Structures are given as C-alpha cells and as structure tokens.
C-alpha cells in the first residue's frame, strides 16, 4: 500500500470525491428534488403543505432529547413560525433556516436526526437552506422562473 492510497487500495482522491458527493452534493440534490416535487402542488395547497412540513421539522429531534427542555422550546417556536407560514412564504423560509441551525447544533453534539446515519444532521443542514431559498422566492414552481434580464414573451427587450 502506497501513501497516496487508502486501505482499500483506491487512490485518496477517489475516496474524497465519493465522500463529497454523499455528504455535500446529495443533500443539495435532495433539496432540489423537494422543490421540484413541491412545484407540482397547486397553490394555495403548496404553501399550506410547506407550512406543515416546516412545523413537522420542528419536532424531528424530540425523541432524541439531546438538548433537554430546549427541544420543546424549539418545537414551540417552529410551530409558531409554521402557523405564520400559512400566510407567508417568508416565515416558511425562516423556519427552514431555524431548522438548519438546529441541525448544526445536533451534528456538533453528536445527536443526528437519524440515529443510524451519523452525518444525517449535517446533510439536513445543507438541504434545508436550499428549500429556504426557494421559499424566500415565494415558493413558485420551477418552470415559472426565467433568467434575470430575459424579457417576458411579447415584451420588447
């Protein structure tokens, strides 16, 4: 075994690349898939569904109890944010960012969202901001987006 190879015989770069895909790119793709699938839900149901999802995300860590009573406080805060999200995409985006922070705390504490997947909170902390950005844009279907500076059809540029 040479110094530039892992115990499996693969070059170090191959291991690092596969780890990058699993830990970084996969959560981003999951966030984009979430956005794409949610784009299929018509309004106003899309906004209501996302408010419910962010409210449920607030309770995701309750069973672990890693942060004691703070888990309940966070759940209550996210429940309020989700309620406000029924009328505001901005609040839904704020909820996802709050959950991102909670994911980071749990990752650093070693209490992942999925106990059998050590990096699950880290992945969730990458996925959630992707969803939040979409929410901050108003949760519009992806196919209604157009490039900045591109005139609308029928409008001279």
pTM above 0.95, yes or no: no
- Here the tokens at position 139 are 């949760």
For 26-57, the pLDDT digits (tens) are 999 999 999 999 999 999 999 999 999 999 99
- Here the tokens at position 18 are 């596969």
- Here the tokens at position 152 are 């609308």
- Tell me the helices (H) and strands (E) count for the chain, helix number first: 6, 0
User: What are the residue ranges spanned by the domains of the chain?
Assistant: 12-141
- Here the tokens at position 16 are 């690092």
Q: Which residue has the tokens 């106003």?
A: 44
For 58-108, the pLDDT digits (tens) are 898 887 778 889 999 999 999 999 999 999 999 999 999 999 999 999 898
Asked if 35 contacts 131 with a C-beta cutoff of 8 angstroms, the reply is: yes
Cis peptide preceding 120, ω within 30 of 0 = no
């Amino acid at each position: 075994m040479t110094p530039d190879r892992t115990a499996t015989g693969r070059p170090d770069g191959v291991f690092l690349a596969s780890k990058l895909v699993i830990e970084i790119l996969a959560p981003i793709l999951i966030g984009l898939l979430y956005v794409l699938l949610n784009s299929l839900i018509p309004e106003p149901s899309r906004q209501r569904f996302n408010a419910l999802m962010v409210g449920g995300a607030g309770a995701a860590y309750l069973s672990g109890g890693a942060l004691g009573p703070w888990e309940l406080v966070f759940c209550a805060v996210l429940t309020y944010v989700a309620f406000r999200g029924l009328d505001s995409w901005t609040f839904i985006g704020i909820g996802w960012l709050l959950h991102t922070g909670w994911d980071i705390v749990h990752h650093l504490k070693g209490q992942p969202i999925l106990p059998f997947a050590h990096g699950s909170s880290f992945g969730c902390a990458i996925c959630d901001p992707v969803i939040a950005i979409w929410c901050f844009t108003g949760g519009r279907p992806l196919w209604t987006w157009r490039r900045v500076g591109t005139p609308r059809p029928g409008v001279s540029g």
